[in-house]
Amino acid sequence: MTPARTPRLALAIQVYALLGAPLAWTTQLVVGFGLTEAACGPAGRMWNIAIDTWESVIFGLALTVAAGGLASATALHRAVTRGAIDDPNGRVRFLATIGLAVGAIFVALILYTGTGVLTLEECRR
């Protein structure tokens, strides 16, 4: 997929490339952590939450969004290097490089977190 030359789409892709992966991890952390607090706390015994199921769903969604962010950053970087996007100040290329680093680190973090949550025994203290 090549980013379109229209400025609006390029802007949307830049934003996704920069913010998609971090927000995916943030969601995994907040929802996933909240889930373990709810399920393993005193009130949780009443609710019987299937932690592993939900954590798998969150993991899958977060990983997909983050991987998409990394893919966007890659596509953006390639487009800028090829000269397909207007970049008089070098700002777009700068943000594309940043997007690559951001995407890679958060994909790794989501993988790390998800495998950890799913391999450990639920609620064991």
- Please choose, out of 2-10, 42-50, 62-70, 78-86, the segment that lies near another protein by the rule CB under 8 A: 42-50
Q: Which residues contact 19 (CB under 8 A, 6 or more apart)?
A: 69
- 98 contributes a contact to another protein by CB under 8 A: yes
Whichever of 3 and 17 has its CB closer to another protein, that residue is: 17
Q: Which of 51, 62, 63, 80 binds another protein (CB under 8 A)?
A: 51
Q: How many residues bind another protein (CB under 8 A)?
A: 42
Cβ(34)–Cβ(117) under 8 Å?
Answer: no
- 107 contributes a contact to another protein by CB under 8 A: no
Q: In whole angstroms, what is the distance from residue 114 CA to residue 51 CA?
A: 12
Q: Which of 29, 71, 75, 84 binds another protein (CB under 8 A)?
A: 29
- 102 contributes a contact to another protein by CB under 8 A: yes
Residue 3 Cα distances to 15, 19, 24, 88, angstroms: 13, 17, 22, 18
